[in-house]
Amino acid sequence: MAKEVKTNAMRILEKNKIPYELITYECEHFIDGLHTAELTGAPIEASFKTLVAQGKSRAYYVFVLPIAEEVDLKKAAKTANEKSMEMIHVKDITAITGYVRGGCTAIGMKKQFPVFIQECAKNFTQIYVSGGRIGATIKLDPLDFARAAQGTFADFIVT
C-alpha cells in the first residue's frame, strides 16, 4: 500500500497534536465543494470551502465558509477593517497560497494571512475542509481548526 503523502496542513495538525481524520477521494482535477462532499459522504452543511480575497490595502485575507454560501464582500471588508474587498483571480491561488484550486486550505499557506471562519462552524462538533491537495478532505473540530489556522470566527456570508 502506498504511503499517504502529507500536506503542510496535515504536518501542522500533527505537530500541534490536533486530532483529525483524513478522507481521500479519487479526483484528478478541480471539482467544487458540493461534488467533493458528495464523493466523501460529508454533510453539505458541515463542509467548508476556503476563499482568498484582497483588501484595498493590497493585503490578503482568507475566508472559510460553508460550501453552499457566498462571501458578502462588504461584510468581509468590515470584518478585516478594509475599505473594500475583492476575490483574487483563480490563476493567482497557487502563487499566493502555495495550494492549488480545489486543494486550498487555511492551514499551512505559504504565508500566514488573517483567517476568518464563518461563525456557524462553531455549531458543529466536526467540520470538513480541504486537506491541502485535490483528493484530500480533513474532518476535525472547528475550534481545533481555528487554532491550527490561527483564525477567528466572524459573520461575512450573504444572507
Work out how many domains the chain is built from and give that number: 1
- Residue 120: which of 46, 37, 20 has the closest Cα? 46
Q: Is residue 3 part of a domain?
A: no
Angle between helices 8-15 and 142-149 (to 10 degrees): 100
pLDDT computed for residue 13 by the predictor: 98
Residue 112 CA, distance from chain mean position: 13
The torsion defined by the Cα of 24, 21, 65 and 152, in degrees rounded to 10, comes to -150
From first to last of its 159 residues, what are the pLDDT tens digits of the chain?
Answer: 455 679 999 999 999 999 999 999 887 777 788 889 988 999 999 999 999 999 999 999 999 999 999 999 999 999 999 999 999 999 999 999 999 999 999 999 999 999 999 999 999 999 999 999 999 999 999 999 999 999 999 999 999
As a whole number of angstroms, the distance between CA 70 and CA 88 comes to 14
Strands 115-118 and 60-66: parallel
The reply to whether 10 falls in a domain is no
Which CATH number goes with the domain that contains 119? 3.90.960.10
Res 39: pLDDT: 86
pLDDT of residue 5: 78
Q: By residue range, what is the domain housing residue 63?
A: 21-154
- CB atoms under 10 Å from CB of 140, counted, come to 19
Does residue 6 lie in a domain region?
Answer: no
pLDDT score for 4: 66
